[in-house]
């Protein structure tokens, strides 16, 4: 699915008019074009399925790790900064910190790829809960691991700037698969 910049320009112009302003005013005449370009950038993840993102970032290394080698290794990448847009209000979800852990089973993914996956998944109209499950699904597909944990903490402008207007409110979500579902000690390592 390609993002339709022409449709975005048309609708942004309509929103400006609906707000009672003049889209030909000096400060607004280029706004529809700027918003369309911004949407192409910040919603780039909408162009790809989880499987396509997995293919895009499938750079792994075969390593003697995991239970089949008598090892109980875990890889954790903490505090990956991302942002996204809430699908309910199209409001910014910001100051989001994503931590991803997985238990390797014979191969490991390049660490920068984990951050790239989190970034790309965030570039969709999303729910914070779905960001976690999408990341877990992609990491599992790439690494072959059935044990993935994702922790996300973030602020939602639909809570901080409108509605209840509680600027200090943060939302924390977790996604656990495989051994992370049952083993609270593994879960707690995401909170350290």
Question: pLDDT (tens digit, 9 = 90+) per residue, 32-81?
Answer: 999 999 999 999 999 999 999 999 999 998 876 655 555 568 899 999 99
Question: Phi, psi (5° rounding) for residue 45?
Answer: -65, -20
For position 71, what pLDDT does the model report?
A: 54
Which percentage of the chain shows pLDDT scores above 70?
95
Query: How far is the C-alpha of 124 from the C-alpha of 129, rounded, in Å?
Result: 13
- pLDDT of residue 149 exceeding 80: yes
For position 53, what pLDDT does the model report?
A: 98
Q: What is the pLDDT of residues 97-142, one digit of tens each?
A: 999 999 988 888 999 999 999 999 999 999 999 999 999 999 999 9
- Would you name the residues annotated as active-site residues? 86-89, 128, 156, 158
Range in 54-58, 65-69, 148-152, 169-173 with the lowest mean pLDDT = 65-69
Residues 143 and 94: beta-carbon distance below 8 Å: no
Query: How far is the C-alpha of 85 from the C-alpha of 90, rounded, in Å?
Result: 5
Residues 73 and 65: beta-carbon distance below 8 Å: yes
Residues 50 and 138: beta-carbon distance below 8 Å: yes
Mean predicted confidence (pLDDT) in 171-186: 95
For position 192, what pLDDT does the model report?
A: 78
Query: How far is the C-alpha of 28 from the C-alpha of 24, rounded, in Å?
Result: 6
For position 181, what pLDDT does the model report?
A: 95
Q: Which residues of 23-34 are buried (b: 16+ CB within 10 A; e: fewer)?
A: beeeebeebbee
Structure tokens at 21: 């302003």
């Amino acid at each position: 699915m390609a993002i339709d910049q022409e449709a975005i320009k048309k609708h942004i112009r309509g929103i400006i008019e609906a707000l009672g302003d003049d889209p030909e005013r000096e400060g607004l005449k280029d706004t529809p074009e700027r918003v369309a370009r911004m949407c192409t950038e910040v919603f780039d993840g909408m162009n790809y399925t989880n499987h396509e993102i997995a293919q895009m970032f499938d750079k792994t290394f075969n390593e003697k790790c995991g239970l089949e080698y008598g090892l109980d290794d875990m890889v954790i990448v903490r505090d990956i900064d991302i942002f996204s847009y809430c699908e309910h209000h199209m409001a910014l979800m910001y100051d989001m910190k994503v931590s991803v852990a997985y238990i390797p089973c014979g191969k490991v993914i390049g660490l920068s790829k984990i951050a790239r996956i989190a970034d790309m998944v965030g570039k969709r109209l999303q729910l914070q809960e779905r960001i976690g499950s999408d990341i877990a699904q992609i990491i599992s597909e790439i690494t072959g691991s059935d044990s993935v944990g994702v922790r996300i903490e973030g602020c939602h402008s639909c809570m901080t700037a409108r509605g209840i207007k509680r600027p200090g409110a943060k939302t924390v979500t977790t996604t656990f698969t495989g051994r992370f579902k049952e083993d609270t000690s593994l879960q707690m390592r995401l909170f350290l």
